[in-house]
Amino acid sequence: MTGGHRRILVVEDDPETAGQLVEQLSTSGYQVDLATCGNDALSRGAASEYAVITIDRMLPDIDGIAVMRQLRDDGIAAPFLIISALGEVDDRVRGLRAGGDDYLVKPFSFIELLARLEALGRRSDTVAKETILRVGDLAIDLISRTASRRGKDIDLLPKEFQLLEYLVRNEGRVVSRAMLLQHVWDLHFDPSTNIIDVYVGRVRRKVDDQQAYPLIHTIRGIGYSLRAPG
Amino acid sequence: MLLAKTLTSSTFKLALIAIGTFGVIVSAIFAYVYLSTSTFVRSRSDRAIMAEYMNLRDVYERSGREGLIGLIRQRTSDRAFTGHVYVLSDPSSAVLAANLGEWPPTAMAPSGWTEFRVSPVAPEGGGSPLVRGMIVTFPSGDRLLVGQDISDLDLFTGQIKTAVISGVSLIFVLAGVASVLVTRRTVGRIEQINATSRAIMASGLDKRIPLRGTHDEWDRVAENLNLMLERIETLMGEVKQVSDNLAHDLRTPLTRMRGRLEKAYHSQRFDEGAQALIGDTIADLDAVLRIFTSITRIAQIETRVRTEAFRTVNLVEIAREVVELYDAAAEEKGSCLTMIGEGEVPATGDRDLIFDAIANLVDNAIKHGRAGGDVIVASETVNGAPVISITDDGPGIPTNQRDQVFKRFYRLEQSRYTPGNGLGLSLVAAVARLHGARIEMSDNSPGLQFKLWFPAPGT
């Protein structure tokens, strides 16, 4: 059995979208297999071990969620990223997150897809052992729910701490606005205002103002990333 | 409950009118029967009395007082004339011949018909018999009374009277009971239809009116309504299918388009100007998509029925989360966002959608309220009903436009240049409708108070 942390199965029936996905994921360093229908997905999914399986909700032969169930029943443990054109009101898709899988609504930005894949693929191999996480001179204490830079406490509200924790846990990776809404507020839709930006702006002021270097960086058109220089 | 509805129903009122009319007619017929029977019986006995009276008068005129006394004595001892009453008195009212002890004190008229009761002959004889008789005063001053015991007739007409009255009463009672039963049945069926309609409004089109299998007109009404519901459900399903397909068919090319643009954007093959153009195009495409997503989302919420996704949620908690999320935005505008409400305000619903609705209202209150003003979010349980209110002190919404603001893309003149797409309140309305919640807008003078009244949990 061939396997690996960078191997992904893409299930997508639209040839052009499939082509774009394969090309961009390959460029990003993933090893990509493509299945163009549900049956194809079932045989490929069972044959190899994948870090993540992305699957279109509407396939020509079998419903994407049915494929996912079938593979789960066959003992496939890989997390699924369902790509749905139906939107988040579709209850069955919304129920996915409870099972540790994720979904994305079409059309999606590639960086958003990449961010999700990173988050899903990483999940299996990170076990939180430390109770204090550090990035540069920032330290956050997961037990007391406090944060400090260079030993100086940062005064954060509970949700602000949660947001910072999520950014720290994804250190160096791009985190989209939708991901923040999902993980910090458990919201599965995108409020069309710039509310998240304003909110992150305030957290950023608390964390980065009058410090040696900024930690929270804006990634234009997609979201944020927390990283220390160097 | 059902009885109260029965008594106030229009069917029952109609039945009462019918019973009334019918009762009057029946009473009139029975009264006529009674009157004509008793008149007939009485006129027969009157003719007999009259004939006997003529006889006696003739005897008096032919043979004088003595002759009549003789005849009366003969008559009173004759068994064939039992039940006849004869009294002859002289001008001083002294009885000359009679089968009564005295001149009846109640019959003082000089002549004509009279009716009186006599004291019973034998003490054990039962009631005092009723006598009807004819009186004449002869020119000599002698008075003659010829009569007959009409107790039997009296009894007979009395029985007819009793029969008629009890018959009419019985008819009234039966008609009353029958109309209550019939109305109750009608009201029961209508209540069934009403209950189904309410269930449909509350939870969706999958309910049907139960049939009784009697193939009567009610079953036919129910069948037709059920057919109509079936048709509506099919149509709704088709609309949903169309919007799903539309979403899918539009999203596929848009996904390709966005993919191509993104690829171009990241390929580093273009100069900075072209790069910026592509970036702006992606941003605009995303804006178009957001509006498209909002519209399909509203459509999906509107065609959705109450689902298993509904849970008991705490409005205070949701409101608090919204307030925390929007606190930074309010601060940026110099406004003060406050949350009032503690503990549990339980409601039944979809947490995400309620969050979205409250978020939209808070967003509006901050955006359209007074810069540097106060926005207050409050949640409490009022008489069992969970309610959430969002209050600002801005310009408010003119009363005549309060219904309009729920229309898609509707924007007030005063907020034409504030960012937004005019879909927020449509979404709020859709979420409210899905939850059976009532929207109330009132003046906070200055400002607007927006209230969402949720149905009491468990109803």
ipTM score of the complex?
Answer: 0.75
* Ranges of each domain in chain B: 2-155, 217-303, 311-453
CB B67 within 8 A of CB B59: yes
Q: Which of residues 83-112 of A touch B (CB under 8 A)?
A: 85-91, 94, 105-111
How confident is the model over B266-288, as a mean pLDDT?
83
- Give residue A1's pLDDT band: very low, low, confident or very high (50, 70, 90): very low
Residue A139 lies in a domain: yes
| The pLDDT value given to residue A93 | 59
Q: Which stretches of B24-126 are assigned E, i.e. beta strand?
A: 84-89, 95-98, 112-117
Given the structure tokens 């199965």, which residue do they identify? A9
Q: Quick one: A54 and A110 in the same domain?
A: yes
Longest Cα–Cα distance of chain B, Å, equals 160
Overall domain count for chain A: 2
Q: Among residues of chain B, what percentage have pLDDT more than 90?
A: 12
> For a pLDDT cut of 90, what percent of chain A falls above it?
23
Cβ proximity of B335 and B424 under 8 Å: no
Whether residues A107 and A212 fall in one domain:
no
Does A58 share its domain with A18?
Answer: yes
Q: Which residues pair with B391 in a beta bridge?
A: B376, B449
Architecture of domain B311-453: 2-Layer Sandwich (3.30)
pTM: predicted TM-score of the whole model, two decimal places:
0.63
Whether residues A212 and A112 share a domain: the answer is: no
Query: Are A114 and A92 contained in the same domain?
Result: yes
Of A20, A91, A185, nearest to B259 by CB-CB distance is: A20
CA-based nearest distance A171→chain B, Å: 22
The residue with greater pLDDT, B128 or A46, is A46
Q: What angle do CA A207, A210, A212 make, to 5 degrees?
A: 90
pLDDT at residue number A3 = 44
Same-domain pairing of A12 and A119: yes
Q: Is A128 helix (H, G, I), strand (E, B) or coil?
A: coil
- What the block records as the tokens of B148 is 């007959």
DSSP class of A189: S
- pLDDT for B306: 62
What's the CATH code of the domain at A65?
A: 3.40.50.2300
Residue A87 shares a structural domain with residue A169: no
First to last CA, chain B: 18
Which secondary structure element, helix H or strand E, spans residue A224, and what is its range? strand A223-226
Is the Cβ–Cβ distance between B84 and B147 less than 8 Å?
yes
User: Three-state DSSP class for B312?
Assistant: strand
Average pLDDT over residues B327-352: 89
Count of CB atoms situated within 10 Å of the CB of B44: 11
Q: What are the pLDDT digits (tens) for B401-458? A: 777 777 777 777 666 666 666 778 888 988 998 888 899 988 888 888 999 999 988 7
Domain with residue A213: its CATH number is 1.10.10.10
Contact A198 B248 (CB under 8 A): no
Asked if A176 and A221 sit in the same domain, the reply is: yes
Q: Which CATH number fits domain B217-303: 2.10.25, 1.20.950, 3.30.450, 1.10.287?
A: 1.10.287
pLDDT (average), residues B34-53: 88
Tell me, yes or no, whether A153 and A82 share the same domain: no
Residues A114 and A151 in one domain: no
Residues 48-77 of B with CB under 8 A from A: none
- Asked whether residue B65 carries a pLDDT value surpassing 60, the answer given is yes
Claim to verify: residue A108 and residue A175 sit in the same structural domain: no
CB of B448 closer than 8 Å to CB of B364 = no
In order, the DSSP letters of B353-407 are HHHHHHHHHHHHHHHHS-TT-EEEEEEEEETTEEEEEEEE-S----GGGTTGGGS
SS3 A217: strand
Task: Measure the CA–CA gap between B345 and B317, rounded to whole angstroms.
Answer: 8
Q: Is B321 on the interface with A (CB under 8 A)?
A: yes
Structural domain includes residue A162: yes
Q: What is the DSSP letter of B128?
A: P
Retrieve residue A155's tokens: 């005064």
Q: Which of A82, A98, A123 is the last residue of a domain?
A: A123
Structure tokens at B390: 């969002």
Domain that holds residue A59: 7-123
In a domain, A159, yes or no: yes
B311 touches chain A (CB under 8 A): no
pLDDT classification of A138: cutoffs 50, 70, 90: very high
Residue numbers in A near B266 (CB within 8 A): 110
Between chains, do B419 and A201 touch, taking CB under 8 Å as contact? no
Whole-number Å distance between alpha carbons of B457 and B454: 8
- Amino acid B108: pLDDT: 76
Report residue A5's pLDDT band, with 50, 70 and 90 as the boundaries. low
**First-to-last C-alpha distance (Å) of chain A:** 38
Closest A-chain CA to B254: A107
Angstrom CA distances, B139 to B57, B62, B110, stand at: 12, 14, 11
Query: Encoding tokens for residue B269?
Result: 């093959």
Residue B379, CB-side half-sphere exposure with 13 Å CA sphere: 23
Least reliable range by pLDDT among A84-88, A128-132, B133-137, B338-342:
A84-88
3-state helix, strand, coil in chain B (%, to 5): 60, 15, 25
| Rounded-to-integer distance, Cα B324 and Cα A125, Å | 33
User: What fold characterizes domain B2-155?
Assistant: Beta-Lactamase (3.30.450)
pLDDT over 50 at A2, yes or no: no
Rounded average pLDDT over A11-15? 89
Q: Are B339 and B372 in contact (CB under 8 A)?
A: no
User: Three-state SS string across A8-57, please?
Assistant: EEEECCCHHHHHHHHHHHHHCCCEEEEECCHHHHHHHHHHCCCCEEEEEC
β-strands B374-382, B438-443 pairing: unpaired
